[in-house]
Each structure stands twice: as structure tokens, then as C-alpha cells.
Amino acid sequence: MFHLIKYCLITIIREKSVVFWSMLFPILLGTLFYMSFGSHKTELETIDVALVEIDNSEMSQNFIKFLEMIEDDNDKLVSLEKLSKEKANDKLENMEVTGIYYACEEPELIVTGNNINSSILKSLLDTFNRQAQMYIDIAMENPAKIEEVINTGYKEFVNETTLTGKSVDGMVQYFYSLIGMACMFGSFIGYLVSTQLQANVTALGLRRAVSAVSKFKQIIASAFAAVFVHYVNLAVLLSYLHFILKIDLSGNIFKLIGICLTGGFIGVSLGILVGTLSKLPDGMRIGILVAEGLVLSFLAGLMISGIKGLVEENCPILNKINPAAVITDAIYSVSVYDDPGRYTTDIVILIIMSLVVGIVTFIITRRECYDSI
């Protein structure tokens, strides 16, 4: 089995076009991104949010003061609009505001979508809730000082800028999407090993069909070799982005590895699956791979800033079934949001995708048979 895997590895590495698309192209594209805007930081945009005052409790009033302090700050992080509950809901449905704050005994937030703006609003509410009891105690003991304390708490939040104390780099999303694209481009490796197993497509496939090695062992060895090569490609890309281009990939390294492992497996499996469509011309199958990689990456935000958030607002299910978007979101949950729940959800989705695509691909490949002479 070891010699079979070694042989499969050699046949993959010898294919220069596969090496280019799966390893060199993502590195070249990452370099192009870096040369264009790699070190450029973008300012946070002002977030439109509705404010509904439910009651006149002390907690409610402190929360309103907290939000007004944010609105009046020079950073202009949020723009508040005090509305009735009905008008606020209408504006939220029409996407005229990102969310609705409810000022009451236990302040609440409703948002649409799952983008950076909604996450900042959630973090803002969490910041207030963590310090709420302190605000109440100070308001009782020294009411004149409450505004200063609220302002100090807000300043700490603004200095952190995001949910985790990391500054928001608007351009880093392109590099996160690039990792998602690289995972999907593992499909070229999967396609190669798939055609090398088909006697009616390649000469190598014909030799394997008449060899003494079982079809099952050939499939396992080819799949293992393809996944291994792709994981090496992803490791090279991550190392290049982090150590050479200095792209912020901070966070739990094991979680990042988990994302790449599951995402890379999906990419290779999709390639093998397309490769089994032997009735289609070779050029058409290659076209499917290229289109699949580029379209999924485009919707994940690789080419246009904010496209992923736009998809989330208008058709969120697309972001849940698009592996490139899920990979990008998972990286955000580790490197920016520091949201374990969100990371777990994304990983579960990726694992389910991996199992479904992997099982379907194995069944189709295992059942492939040819007429005897």
C-alpha cells in the first residue's frame, strides 16, 4: 500500500498544470493582493441602527447614554435613530438599518445577517452588559460621574475596535477568501487522480484497470495522495501569507488547521466527483472546475468587498451551502470574531459537506466498470 501511495504522489507532482493551479496560483494571487493593498487599513463605516425605548428604567437610561456617547464620538461608529417598535421593524426589514437596540431592563439587539457590522453591534451590547452593574453602582453613589465612566468604557471598546481587541483591516477579507479559494482549487488534484483511475480516459487508468491491485486499494491510495499533496499546498500558502506577507492569521492555530483540513478535503472530493463524469468532454469538465472555484470564491468575497455580506442579507442559505464562504467565515470566527460557537457551526457544516461529497464520490468511483474485450 505504501508503494502505491508513493506512486500516486509522484504522478500528481509530475503534473505541472495541477501544481500551478493548486499551489502557485493562490500564492501569485496573494502576492498581487498584497502589492495592491496588503498594508492598507480601512476605517470602520458608520453603522445605522434603530433605538427603541421600551421602558424608563435606570438600566434603560444608562444604555441610552452609552449609545449616545458612541454616536457623539469622533469615530462615528454608529448612527442612532430613535423609533417606535413598528417603524424600527419596518426599517430593519427594508435593510435601512443594520439592527435594532431595545433599551429596557435587559437591553436587547436584533440584527439581520451575520456580517462584521452586526457583529460589532453585538459586541457593543456585550460590552455594556459586562459593565452594567458597575454603571448602576456608580450611578447610585456618584451620579455626576456616570457619564465619565460610560465614556471610559466606550473608549476601551473603540480602542479594541473589534470583538477581540484586534484592529479591523478591511482588506484582510480578500486573503481569508483566498484561503477558501485555495481549498476549492484542490479540485484540480482530485480531478487528476480521478482520471488516472479511469481506463476509458487515460493510459494510466487502463494499466491500473488490468493490474492485480484491487480497485478499492487504488481509490484509497489515490485519494490519500491527493489530500496529502493538497494539505502541503495549503500549509505552504498559509506560511507564505503569515510569515512572508505578514497577513494577520492570529488565533488558535489548531482551529485554522481544522478549517483547512475539512475545506481542503471538500475541494479534492469535488474534483474527484467531477472527474467521474467521464461522458463529458475533458475540456467541459475542466471548465466546470474553473467555474466552480471562481464562482464560489467570488460569492465568498474574493473579488468584491462586501459581496459575502450582501449575499447574507438577501439569500443567507447560499453562504451556508457555499464551502468557500463557510471556510472564510470560519477563519473570521477564529482570527477576528473570537466566536467559538460560530466556529463550531462552520466546522460542523464543513464536516457534513465533506462526508456527503466524499461518500457520493466514493460510491460513484467504486461502481465504475468497463466492458470486457
- Interval 37-53: pLDDT, tens: 645 555 567 889 999 99
Residues 116 and 259 in one domain: no
Q: Is 211 a residue whose pLDDT tops 60?
A: yes
Residues 94 and 173 in one domain: no
Give the pLDDT band (50/70/90) at residue 288: very high
Query: For 101-106, what is the mean pLDDT?
Result: 92
Q: What is the CATH number of the domain that holds 132?
A: 3.40.190
Residues 140 and 279 in one domain: no
Mean pLDDT of the chain: 82
Among candidate residues 125, 160, 195, the one where a domain is terminated: 160
Residues 222 and 131 in one domain: no
Distance of CA 25 to the CA centre of its chain: 20
Residues 26 and 51 in one domain: no
Answer yes or no: is 266 within a domain.
Answer: yes
Among candidate residues 123, 143, 160, the one where a domain is terminated: 160
Q: Where are the beta strands (DSSP E) in the chain?
A: 47-53, 78-82, 99-103, 108-111
Residues 30 and 90 in one domain: no
Rounded to 5°, angle at Cα 241 from 239 and 242: 65
Report for 62-76, 141-155, 289-303, 334-348: range of highest mean pLDDT: 289-303
Answer yes or no: is 344 within a domain.
Answer: yes
Among candidate residues 120, 139, 160, the one where a domain is terminated: 160
Answer yes or no: is 276 within a domain.
Answer: yes
Rg of the chain over Cα atoms, rounded to whole angstroms, equals 26
Q: Rounded to whole angstroms, how far apart are CA atoms 265 and 209?
A: 25
Residues 302 and 345 in one domain: yes
At 189 the pLDDT is 95
Answer yes or no: is 345 within a domain.
Answer: yes
Domain count, the chain: 2
Q: Which domain holds residue 265?
A: 2-39+169-367
Query: For 279-292, what is the mean pLDDT?
Result: 89
At 151 the pLDDT is 56
At 165 the pLDDT is 42
Residues 232 and 308 in one domain: yes
Distance of CA 243 to the CA centre of its chain: 21
Residues 346 and 214 in one domain: yes
At 144 the pLDDT is 61
pLDDT digits (tens, 9 = 90+) for 232-247: 999 999 999 989 988 8
Q: Rounded to whole angstroms, how far apart are CA atoms 28 and 350?
A: 26
Residues 35 and 64 in one domain: no
Give the pLDDT band (50/70/90) at residue 169: low
Answer yes or no: is 258 within a domain.
Answer: yes
Give the pLDDT band (50/70/90) at residue 167: very low
Q: Rounded to whole angstroms, how far apart are CA atoms 183 and 68?
A: 44
Query: For 140-144, what is the mean pLDDT?
Result: 61
Residues 193 and 266 in one domain: yes
Give 99's strand partners. Answer: 49, 111
Query: For 102-124, what is the mean pLDDT?
Result: 84
Query: For 148-168, what is the mean pLDDT?
Result: 48
Percent over 70 (pLDDT), the chain: 80
Q: Is 103 a residue whose pLDDT tops 70?
A: yes
Helix/strand/coil for 84: coil
Answer yes or no: is 373 within a domain.
Answer: no
Residues 202 and 70 in one domain: no
Dihedral Cα 134, 135, 140, 144, nearest 10 deg:
130
At 163 the pLDDT is 42
> pTM, whole model, 2 decimals?
0.68
Answer yes or no: is 246 within a domain.
Answer: yes
Q: Rounded to whole angstroms, how far apart are CA atoms 302 and 176?
A: 8
Give the pLDDT band (50/70/90) at residue 157: very low
Answer yes or no: is 76 within a domain.
Answer: yes
Give the pLDDT band (50/70/90) at residue 368: low
